[in-house]
Amino acid sequence: MSALTIVRLYHDLLGTYGDQGNAEVLMHRARGRGIEVELLEVTPGDAVPTQGDIYLLGGGEDGPQTVALEMLAKDGGLNRAVDSGATVFAVCAGFQLIGATLPNSQGLAIDGLGLVDVETIYRDVPRSVGELVITFNGDMQEPILTGFENHQGHTRLGFGVQPLGSVISGVGNGVPGRDAECVRPEGVLQGKVIGTYLHGPACARNPQLADLILESAYGELSQYSDEFAEAFAAERRTTLLR
């Protein structure tokens, strides 16, 4: 058995924005440190394994998002894995569907998986599309994270729930054009479950985020450096902060 098992959930449904690449980056950075890692690909109709260490969900359109949620709720494997201490990294549609409520493909509020205490609603405002830059809330050597966002939903955190970071530019969880003067939350970080609106794939654009995910599942990591990945991440930060 591998030291680390990554489970990629339904990238046939939630692969529109390239978030499936997060799995490749996590595997690359684990193997670069000599950690044995395997990828389990879960497609619609497969049972969700409960022995995984890291579960990945990506973004997609409202219809496939609703289908993915229905299948995950019926299966129950992801919720059981989280109860046993698994790490989850969920992007956009994936972030919304692990919350308490969200709109379905008809716009009606439905229950999410309830892995994190967040609620998503649709508002009659323009879709949030563009580059997104945030500063990570916790301890991290390079706390600026970048990506792009593309969503209609806006996500409210429950009382006392920590966001992943604060928006520097872009929209994140909030409503475009509002709260410009306030701290604007982005994503969620609740235990070992991370949700975010950052596409990219986020782990390719932010190697430090990939390491945070790996560390939450594996424990302390040895030093590892991938010059190309770090140069790419730095270029995005510099250009977007200019």
Is residue 199 part of the annotated active site? The answer reads: yes
Residue with tokens 């250009």: 239
Residue with tokens 């409503």: 175
Query: Stretches 20-28, 74-82, 111-119, 149-157: which one binds ligand GLN (CB under 6 A)?
Result: 149-157
Rounded distance, CA 141 to CA 97, Å? 30
User: Residues 101, 135, 137, 150: which binds ligand GLN (CB under 6 A)?
Assistant: 150
8-47 binders of ligand GLN (CB under 6 A): 17
Smallest separation (angstroms) from ligand GLN to the CB of 133: 17
Q: Does 195 bind ligand GLN (CB under 6 A)?
A: no
Quick check: 37 and 24 in contact, CB under 8 A? no
Total residues at the site for ligand GLN (CB under 6 A)? 12
User: Residues 4, 78, 92, 188: which binds ligand GLN (CB under 6 A)?
Assistant: 92
Beta-strand pair 128-136/144-151: antiparallel
User: Residues 101, 104, 135, 152: which binds ligand GLN (CB under 6 A)?
Assistant: 152
Quick check: 50 and 83 in contact, CB under 8 A? no
Query: Stretches 32-40, 43-51, 59-67, 215-223: which one binds ligand GLN (CB under 6 A)?
Result: 59-67
Task: Please count the residues of the chain.
Answer: 242
Three-state SS for 192-237 is CEEEECCECCHHHHCHHHHHHHHHHHHCCCCCCCCHHHHHHHHHHH
User: Residues 8, 11, 29, 151: which binds ligand GLN (CB under 6 A)?
Assistant: 151
Which C-beta is closer to ligand GLN: that of 26 or that of 93?
A: 93
Is residue 182 part of the annotated active site? The answer reads: no
Q: Does 193 bind ligand GLN (CB under 6 A)?
A: no
Query: Stretches 39-47, 135-143, 146-154, 224-232: which one binds ligand GLN (CB under 6 A)?
Result: 146-154
For residue 86, what is the enclosing H or E element?
none
**Alpha carbon 100 to its chain's center:** 16
Q: In what order do the strands lie in the sheet with 144-151?
A: 144-151, 128-136, 165-169, 185-186
Cβ atoms within 10 Å of 172's Cβ, excluding its own: 28
Catalytic residues: 92, 199
The binding site for ligand GLN (CB under 6 A) comprises 17, 59-62, 65, 92-93, 150-153
